[in-house]
Chains A and B, each alone.
Chain A
């Protein structure tokens, strides 16, 4: 998160400052990629790039605080990911078509990998094994840093539904880790 400097950075970026936009990009892109690797694992980088194209186009008109900025960023990313998914369904190009996104990242043993180094990639892999909506809610809360209301608005669900999905996902994660024998 950028923090207190966000308003100044945004204004500078809207005024054409490359340095300011670079800070916003460096703050947002890693989180964006982590989110997209779960909800659009086949085209995370492409979708992130398209997201930034959209962001750049809309940047002069954007107004809001950092929370609104991140909500906007992830809303665009999500829409681009859905568009990509629809496009892929209409024009299948790979034999992996029928596989659900949550099932795609297959490490040799995701739980074990998470236990061994708890690296970010492993954590993403682990979360991606959750049901899609639970994974998405957890990522939007944790990676994007959005609160329940913002996630609810982004997903078009009630805050209660979002909260329940998050809790279910966390419990499932705990179960997965416990089944893998991970204890701390």
Chain B
């Protein structure tokens, strides 16, 4: 008991086997007394055996008082544990719901996202835009625009392995104020195209509308045999970059242009027909910009 600060006067001074581990002869009987089911002992030890037997006797009634107190403590502990378990079970559900698809769907359908969520959505749109550009989910001119102006590799080339182009993400930043409003209940970003020049790009509206019309009526190699692509020279490239900037990002260009020109008809490349956009022409299925996410991809497939 020295380690616990308790009296130690009746313990052997040394606990080494040489001094204390080997009981003296005759201690076998004593060990028998201490066994859980004592056997026969010598006559001299029988009174001791009786004393020890009394120590092992069945509980006296007085030794079972206090059970109520212990049970009350147990009930309290069990109740607390149940409450903790319930709270723990609830807490992750909140977390999962906040991050999970169900939560996102619910937010899209009914709630206006906060600034952080809107920023996250914009980033997701940009990132998904990069991916979808390769898979032909954009109208052909926009896809070409992405490839030529924003230096994204051709769709059929990148679709094999390449990661999304970083330049796209850098160029197609968050929507400019006044050009991309908060997400609508369906999660799409609505454009409000103001008159005059674009606040963000500084390009006159008429010039932007002209660029949009050029895109909407463009004829690409393989479509009616006409040539010509946006951004073939440096001047064009700058103009189309201004258009992308005015729209907010490459994904919003179709919606932006549709709002600007009043037309929502876009030529689609044949390679994109597996997405159901029609043959040589079709409607951009997302009036407010590409919605992003799986739901958007499914919508693209259905349309």
Query: In the complex the two chains form, is A158's CB within 8 Å of B64's CB?
Result: no
Measured between beta carbons, the chain B residues less than 8 angstroms from A22 are 67, 71
Nearest 7 Cβ contacts at the A-B interface: A160-B21, A158-B15, A131-B10, A30-B59, A123-B54, A30-B63, A16-B78
Most buried by B among A57, A126, A160: A160
Q: Give the contact-size bracket for chain B.
A: 35 or more
Contact of A173 among B17, B51, B71, B77 (CB under 8 A): B51
Contact string against B for A residues 76-87, beta-carbon threshold 8 Å, 1 for contact and 0 otherwise: 000000100000
Q: Give Cα A82 to B11, complex, Å.
A: 18
* Chain A, Cβ-Cβ closest to B38: A142
Residues of chain A within 8 A (CB-CB) of B4 are: 82, 156
Interface of chain A: mostly helix, strand, loop or mixed: helix
Q: Find B82's partner among A16, A155, A166, A177 (CB 8 Å cutoff).
A: A16
Interface digits, B49-89 against A, CB 8 Å rule (1 contact, 0 not)? 01111111101100110110111011101100110000000
Q: Which of B39-47, B176-184, B239-247, B281-289 participates in binding chain A?
A: B39-47
**Interface residues, chain B, with chain A CB atoms under 8 Å away:** 1, 3-12, 15-17, 20-24, 27, 30-31, 33-34, 36, 43-48, 50-57, 59-60, 63-64, 66-67, 69-71, 73-75, 77-78, 81-82
Interface assignment of A10: CB less than 8 Å from any CB of chain B: no
- B60 near A120 (CB under 8 angstroms)? yes
Prevailing SS type, chain B contact patch: helix
Q: Does A21 have its Cβ within 8 Å of any Cβ on chain B? A: yes
Q: Does A92 contact B (CB under 8 A)?
A: no
CB distance from B76 to the nearest CB of A (A): 8
Contacts A26-B59, A174-B45 given: A132-B7 contact, CB under 8 Å? yes
Among A56, A57, A82, A122, chain B packs the most CB atoms within 10 A around the CB of: A56
Name 30 A/B residue pairs within 8 A (Cβ), A-sorted: A21-B70, A21-B74, A29-B59, A29-B63, A30-B59, A30-B64, A34-B63, A49-B66, A52-B66, A52-B69, A114-B54, A120-B54, A123-B52, A127-B51, A134-B10, A138-B52, A141-B34, A142-B55, A157-B1, A160-B15, A160-B21, A163-B20, A163-B21, A164-B21, A165-B10, A167-B27, A174-B47, A177-B47, A178-B47, A184-B47
Q: Which residue of B lies closest to A13 (CB)?
A: B74
- Nearest residue in A to B56 (C-beta to C-beta)? A142
User: Given that A161-B12, A183-B47 are known contacts, is A139 also in contact with B55, CB under 8 Å in the complex?
Assistant: yes
The number of residues on chain A lying at the interface, defined by a beta carbon within 8 Å of a beta carbon of chain B, is 65
Instruction: Confirm or deny: A18 has a beta carbon within 8 angstroms of a beta carbon on chain B.
Output: yes
Q: Which of A30, A33, A82, A177 contacts B51 (CB 8 A)?
A: A177
Residue ranges of A at the interface with B (Cβ–Cβ < 8 Å): 1, 13, 16, 18, 21-22, 25-26, 29-30, 33-34, 45, 48-49, 52-53, 56-57, 59-60, 82, 114-115, 118-124, 126-127, 131-134, 138-139, 141-143, 145, 155-161, 163-168, 170-171, 173-174, 177-178, 182-184
